[in-house]
Structure 1
């Protein structure tokens, strides 16, 4: 019998989470999440932290929900603030842990943290990294990680020839007991960031995200089974206003409240009842895009973030952040982003293209600002998409969008721009 510590990161669920599935259950189980205090520090020149109020609030809601599910099964959750490596290593030493489990994340910093923890733990503690959250794992990839092709199309063609996705695994009914004398609980959000504690999305967004596994399933059920909006996704996915033009699954996927395999299985179940169509396939297509960015990030390592230091933000960049470029379509998108923590794919692509192509801004500053603002931030999708728009790294083909033409096509009556361009409500950089 062993004493185990599960170090949670972006995998805040019990179902389809290999960290909670045991061939032989340990004697005790200590579950911990560590909020990296470096996320709360302002980024150089940006006057904004790596994690903004919207994402921090969603994260805390997800942690509260996860703790509730753990308590139902005889376990608990400890949340610390500080250096993740130091906090986990100290807990492992204090409670005689035999094994530490952690997710094999795509991000370079997360990978380095796992390496550093292994060095800190030494040979006395076994550190195991588990693949979680993607459709494919390394065993089901049709190529080695180092051979991930430079284009998504080539990746998709190879994957779909051997389309074998492991089944999602149900949540455990019970879990091992909490270690004797181990601390429990976590600090209230208001003591960490007062603005996150009171943050609420602007009502014009028409949708309020709520963190946690149950909330993610509620959205999945609504989109597939209650509204049937999945049947129209291919036609509506470039929308800008409304609740169901997009799946909006991304915040729960990014925090691991839902896994991609769970979403895939529900879409397949919907297809079995209603018949597959182009729209239901396109949801799966988007999940595969997400997988591609994950594996590409694993391949690229630190180069995902560029090779030079970030330049000082220009006035043009600050105007872009604040939604005051003078281009209504772009300004509306940036106002929505700051006010809700979310943005449609069409608006994201146009805002990014305008910064890079029209303003000549550094794509890495744009990626850092999105990292601060987005509820659904995940390192691989965010930085991978920005590199894709900028035409750097893996795929260097130019992708400039004419934002005026895009506005005429996707917002012909100006309804989206009119909805968001209220100057007094166009928010701003805030520092948690």
Structure 2
């Protein structure tokens, strides 16, 4: 049998169910498509993937190709629509089985269905849920429609009744004759229609993409510095590499799995220290799961302006307000500093995200989907479920039972009391204001 792994958001060799299944065949190959659609302008006027996540993805595919090569498994890389390239690949290489990670949101479903429609019905497509901490077959709910509205209820029940599955190790090295001629190359930013850039020295996320780099980050954060033991106390930080695990970009494109992180935490707890801080990283992984189950339950409703609550607000749309929010020129310096950070680095802290989202939707009363689409474009760790789920949550149309509005002034006083974060990102803006005022005089 000739088996193909169609890599999507599972860009790793360890704990990869599709890869493990494919390795039962005589021949195993991998394919990844840089889909031009994901680098084009989306519904709200932003490129769906901007340069920060694109470069992280390029770095990831380079490492994936190298790691697979060490297993004598070729990875074919194309800049093309999967529905154009993959059916042709299947025909040319006599593929009988295609293994891929199960996705269910709008764009991913559209691509999958288009590929299958162009392939012979004799070709078997086998999908695996492989992006969860708590596997869908193991959770204490008969159907996704039973997923509760409230996160706490979901978390407590799953913690009692669901066991996290063990990690699948990397496959064995294949015979050398598994390799076939492969002249494909990983594209550059320019190939994707994006400009090159230098990393801003102020960034809290200076790391590169790829499974090997994800492992290095765990080694550093867990075992070398042991900062995991203080995670809950520092996770609301704003400046520097060490205030949080920073694992989310690797999680988002599947360079590392939630289960791998979970079992690494458990190893840390058994050999170093177990406390509320170590538990809190697992707590955050459960939040990530929750938003995936919310999207499984509600489907495309997560993209609609009424959200999953079907709640109507008097949403406004202003090009000027959008430009001021994006460029960090609002009347709120804490909001501005966070918006400058994402514009320059593709990163923003969890605390910052909550504040700028609340400010956009609840204070400025702008269409929350525009903010969500901007985050989709810019964030290194964009994940469709977490992004749109969190934006609904912050905008009063999602899973927040308290329907909160953040007071960004108080938040700044609490989390940036000395103004260190604001000074870091607003120094250029302040200089321009001072210069302009002095020039007028």
The TM tier, using the shorter chain, reads: over 0.9
Match of 1:4 in 2: 3
Partners of 2:32 and 2:258 in 1: how far apart? 22
Match of 1:186 in 2: 186
Match of 1:285 in 2: 283
- The one-character-per-residue Cα deviations of 1:217-243 (angstroms, maximum 9, x if unpaired) are 111111111111111111111111122
Q: Which runs of 5+ in 1 are unaligned?
A: 427-432
Q: Is the 8 A contact 1:106 1:294 kept in 2?
A: no
Shift of residue 146 of structure 1?
2.2
Match of 1:364 in 2: 369
Change (3 A) 1:178 1:338: farther
Partners of 1:85 and 1:292 in 2: how far apart? 31
Change (3 A) 1:24 1:9: closer
- The one-character-per-residue Cα deviations of 1:4-37 (angstroms, maximum 9, x if unpaired) are 1111111110000011113862122221111111
- Alignment equivalent of 1:111, drawn from 97, 109, 112: 109
Match of 1:163 in 2: 162
Change (3 A) 1:415 1:249: same
Shift of residue 396 of structure 1?
5.9
- The one-character-per-residue Cα deviations of 1:109-161 (angstroms, maximum 9, x if unpaired) are 21333233333324211011011121121211111222111111111011011
- Alignment equivalent of 1:228, drawn from 208, 221, 226: 226
Pairs within 5 Å for 1:404-423: 404-423=409-428
Change (3 A) 1:425 1:193: farther
Match of 2:213 in 1: 215
Q: Which has the higher contact order (CA 8 A, sep 6+)?
A: 1
Change (3 A) 1:287 1:192: same
Q: Which runs of 5+ in 2 are unaligned?
A: 307-314, 432-441
Partners of 1:358 and 1:420 in 2: how far apart? 22
Q: Is the 8 A contact 2:151 2:399 kept in 1?
A: no
Q: Is the 8 A contact 2:21 2:99 kept in 1?
A: no
* 2:242 maps to 1:244: yes
Pairs within 5 Å for 1:4-403: 4-22=3-21, 25-44=24-43, 46=45, 48-143=46-141, 144-175=143-174, 178=178, 180=180, 184-195=184-195, 198-306=196-304, 313-395=318-400, 397-403=402-408
- The one-character-per-residue Cα deviations of 1:358-406 (angstroms, maximum 9, x if unpaired) are 1111110000000111010010111110011112144464221011111
Change (3 A) 1:408 1:186: closer
Q: Is the 8 A contact 1:106 1:295 kept in 2?
A: no
TM-score, normalization by structure 2: 0.90
Partners of 1:257 and 1:296 in 2: how far apart? 23
- The one-character-per-residue Cα deviations of 1:240-265 (angstroms, maximum 9, x if unpaired) are 11221111000110111110010001
Q: Is the 8 A contact 1:6 1:29 kept in 2?
A: yes
Partners of 2:147 and 2:415 in 1: how far apart? 34
Pairwise CA RMSD = 2.2
Partners of 1:380 and 1:347 in 2: how far apart? 19
Q: Is the 8 A contact 2:231 2:277 kept in 1?
A: yes
Partners of 1:114 and 1:425 in 2: how far apart? 49
Partners of 1:248 and 1:180 in 2: how far apart? 37
- The one-character-per-residue Cα deviations of 1:268-319 (angstroms, maximum 9, x if unpaired) are 00000123100000000000001111111122211111158x9865211221
Secondary structure of the corresponding residue to residue 202 of structure 2: helix
Change (3 A) 1:205 1:354: same
TM-score, normalization by structure 1: 0.92
Change (3 A) 1:180 1:223: closer
Secondary structure of the corresponding residue to residue 79 of structure 2: strand
- The one-character-per-residue Cα deviations of 1:162-210 (angstroms, maximum 9, x if unpaired) are 1311001111121475575665333334322351xx3233111244120
Q: Is the 8 A contact 2:22 2:99 kept in 1?
A: no
Partners of 1:187 and 1:207 in 2: how far apart? 23
